[in-house]
Chain A
């Protein structure tokens, strides 16, 4: 990712001085990355767009609290993670089951017929479908480690968790996925996708 730190800081100063329009440059610089991040929380495109907007609105409202100690991109990514996590929790609390149709494109039968091996979009759909079988905290830890490529310390910092909690969540998630991935239809679908 290109270093946009100086431009971000300059735009933030401009916005806080009263020129709100400078925020559009921030959206243009970070919009695609945040959208990519929000696709880790739902596969439903209108929901991804809505969540992306929420991240930027939240960032805008809290801009005065940005201290510039860490890159703005990291600050934004943290807001995105916490909003995505809240999105999962709210769905759960409102009594709705986390529908697989919202996390992955629908698949027919054992999935193989509608999934093209080696297709990145189908691989992403399968991966998110698999991760959606986990409890929220375990899923979050896996998303941050495998999709956002954070290490355990960075996950702990991002989520406000202890390192021990991160390690426990990852251990449980892997154990559960290993068990699930060894059984059909997951086993066959994974093999097919990576064939």
Chain B
């Protein structure tokens, strides 16, 4: 190891002996915490997946019907499919 890195390590070792600050204000923090509730995102994931999937399937079916009935071109179908995908992602995320 070169001289500079030795010096840097020595500085880091010295810095590690810096005294700690007083412990954080646990009471103040608890006042902030009360009223909050831990999120349980993962518990809802299967439900969100189901809702997202159902919404996507319905929207895709509707967009294909609409585009074949009123706008008979591929670009319109692709655009509708993109909107569908975006809606599904929105629900999922």
Contacts and interface: CB of A to CB of B under 8 A. Distances in A.
Interface of A: 15-16, 20-21, 23-24, 27-28, 31-32, 34-36, 39, 45, 48-49, 52-53, 56-57, 60-65, 118, 120-121, 123-124, 126-127, 146-147, 174, 177-178, 181-182, 190, 193-194
Interface stretch (B26-34, B51-59, B64-72, B79-87): B26-34
A62 B42 CA distance: 10
A194 B23 contact: no
B2 A178 contact: yes
A49 B8 contact: no
Interface residues of B, number: 35
B19 A60 contact: no
Contacts of B24: 27, 31-32, 34-35, 49, 52-53, 56
A58 to B, nearest CB: 11
Contacts of A121: 18-19
B11 A126 contact: yes
A76 to B, nearest CB: 13
Interface string B35-47: 0101111110000
Contacts of B25: 49
A31 B19 CA distance: 15
A181 B8 contact: yes
A126 to B, nearest CB: 7
Contacts of A32: 20-21, 23-24
Contacts of B14: 118, 120, 123-124, 193-194
Contacts of B34: 20
A134 B25 CA distance: 32
B19 A177 contact: no
Contacts of A45: 21
Interface of B: 2, 4-5, 7-12, 14-21, 23-30, 32-34, 36, 38-43
A2 to B, nearest CB: 15
B15 A120 contact: yes
Contacts of B21: 32, 35-36, 39, 45, 48-49
Nearest to A28: B26
B4 to A, nearest CB: 5
B12 A23 contact: no
A181 B39 CA distance: 47
A57 B36 CA distance: 9
Contacts of A178: 2, 4-5
Contacts of A182: 4
Contacts of B9: 146
Given A27-B30, A57-B32, A181 B4 contact: yes
Given A24-B26, A35-B20, A52-B24, A64 B4 contact: no
